[in-house]
């Protein structure tokens, strides 16, 4: 299996990794040193010009995302695309692993962010705040921030970029698709 890592400087690196599709730590691989300029994940640059017609969020969800995106310095289109990918913008969404609400926050993540994931406004605040923290951690690299949101920062560190999980790769592609990238 190949792993695509987009480094902060914009270099695209492919590496060979075990074909495990599990998001659990299962040992690592080694970078084979190869590089390629054809990207599965085109750079996300000007989200202000994104075609957001695919993202249909309830008006109150959209307005709340705008509020917290401004507060935490996150592009509102990125946050809206992520919320739509996570739950379709529905606070009632609960995943099979216990993630809750619009931004599908795990209870432990929500507690660390100081929010109640069962409250729609707090769920959105927590999701946008966490996205902001990840964007800061990865120097504004939106692809790595999305990968970490989905698979966890530990897996991004372990694999040196986007983890080789089908779910994570599809998650990033889905959000990029919503953004028209």
Burial pattern 61-70, b for ≥16 Cβ within 10 A else e, equals bbebbeebbe
- Percent of the residues in the chain that have a pLDDT greater than 90, as a whole number: 66
Instruction: Give the tokens for residue 95.
Output: 């995943």
Mean pLDDT over residues 83-94, rounded? 96
Look at the block and give the residue holding tokens 């998001």.
23
Domain ranges of the chain: 46-181
pLDDT of residue 41: 46
- DSSP letter at 15 equals E
The C-alpha atoms of residue 74 and residue 70 are separated, in whole angstroms, by 7
pLDDT at 130 over 50: yes
The C-alpha atoms of residue 16 and residue 38 are separated, in whole angstroms, by 16
pLDDT at 30 over 50: no
pLDDT of residue 70: 97
Given the residues 2, 86, 121, 167, the one annotated as active site:
86
How many Cβ atoms are within 10 Å of 89's Cβ, its own excluded?
22
CB 136 within 8 A of CB 145: no
CB 54 within 8 A of CB 178: yes
- Secondary structure of residue 59 in the 3-state scheme: helix
Look at the block and give the residue holding tokens 């992520």.
82
Burial pattern 21-46, b for ≥16 Cβ within 10 A else e, equals eeeeeeeebebeeeeeeeebbeebee
Model confidence at 80, pLDDT cuts 50, 70, 90, reads: very high
Look up the CATH number of domain 46-181. Answer: 1.10.530.10
Whether 86 is catalytic: yes
pLDDT at 55 over 70: yes
């Amino acid at each position: 299996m190949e792993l695509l890592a987009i480094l902060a400087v914009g270099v695209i690196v492919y590496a060979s990794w075990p074909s495990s599709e599990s998001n659990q730590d299962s040992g690592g691989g080694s970078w084979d040193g190869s590089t390629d300029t054809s990207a599965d994940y085109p750079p996300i640059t000007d989200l202000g010009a994104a075609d957001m017609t695919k993202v249909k969020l309830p008006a109150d969800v959209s307005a709340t995302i705008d509020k917290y995106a401004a507060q935490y310095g996150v592009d509102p289109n990125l946050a809206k695309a992520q919320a739509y990918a996570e739950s379709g913008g529905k606070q009632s969404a609960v995943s099979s692993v216990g993630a809750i609400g619009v931004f599908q926050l795990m209870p432990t993540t929500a507690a660390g962010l100081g929010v109640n994931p069962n409250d729609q406004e707090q769920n959105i605040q927590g999701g946008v705040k966490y996205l902001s923290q990840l964007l800061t951690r990865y120097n504004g690299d939106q692809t790595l921030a999305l990968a970490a949101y989905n698979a966890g920062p530990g897996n991004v560190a372990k694999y040196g970029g986007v983890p080789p999980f089908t779910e994570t790769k599809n998650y990033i592609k889905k959000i990029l698709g919503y953004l028209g990238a």
